[in-house]
A and B are shown apart, each in its own frame.
Chain A
């Protein structure tokens, strides 16, 4: 059974640029959530995708957007990067009837200069 994978591991961008982060869900999982974890803080919910549709969103501006593909993998896109977007971005997947138990990937460390 393959766990949640994310790419790239690290990324450095400059303010104003756009970035795409990728996530492959655990085998058999059809729901993917994205979280932002700033340094020294707990993860903050960005949004969730279920069957290629957005299924809930946290308090993040529209420049944070996402996609889910038929194979349940997902992308997180962030436009017009700001310095405060520097964080660890975590992807989590869960399956049907999982009581909201989520399995996390290793994360992508984004640094905005």
Chain B
């Protein structure tokens, strides 16, 4: 079975600063990787995903994540954050032939003015 570890439970950062949210996964088979964002009192929204091909994937709002197979990581980065990026971020993994998605415990990103 797969598992996900998000290495930071909370990340405070000032507006316009860069940020990295770290995610490591464990799996004995090939996987799909996802980052979801959750705003207060809402469900999860897909931010970006890695399925295959290029190891660098980007979202429409400036986030990017890089799949590193040798380090089994899928860290999320943004070069300049905004107040509106304040939210909970979840890394998730799903194997090719397994239908359940495993989530990390989440990282709370707080962007301060």
Which A residues contact B (CB, under 8 angstroms)?
A: 4, 31, 33, 35, 40-45, 48, 50, 55-56, 58, 90, 92, 99-107
Contact status of A101 and B49, CB under 8 A, knowing A42-B105, A45-B100, A45-B101? yes
B44 touches A104 (CB 8 A): yes
B99 touches A106 (CB 8 A): no
Contact status of A42 and B90, CB under 8 A, knowing A90-B44, A99-B51, A104-B43? yes
Min CB distance B110 to A, Å, is 15
Q: For the complex, give the distance between the alpha carbons of A38 and B48 in Å.
A: 24
Q: For the complex, give the distance between the alpha carbons of A106 and B45 in Å.
A: 9
Contact status of A56 and B98, CB under 8 A, knowing A41-B105, A42-B106? yes
Q: Contact flags (1/0) for B32-69 with A, using CB distance below 8 Å?
A: 10101000001111100101000000000000000000
Does B74 reach chain A (CB closer than 8 Å)? Answer: no
Does B82 reach chain A (CB closer than 8 Å)? Answer: no
A56 touches B100 (CB 8 A): yes
Min CB distance A74 to B, Å, is 14
Residue from B90, B100, B103 within 8 A of A48 (CB atoms): B100
Does B102 reach chain A (CB closer than 8 Å)? Answer: yes
Q: Which of A33, A48, A101 has most B Cβ within 10 Å?
A: A101
Min CB distance A31 to B, Å, is 8
B103 touches A43 (CB 8 A): yes
Q: A4-B43, A42-B6, A45-B101 are in contact. List 17 more A-B contacts (CB 8 A).
A: A31-B99, A41-B106, A43-B103, A50-B99, A56-B98, A90-B44, A92-B44, A100-B32, A100-B101, A101-B32, A101-B46, A101-B49, A102-B46, A104-B36, A104-B45, A105-B43, A106-B43
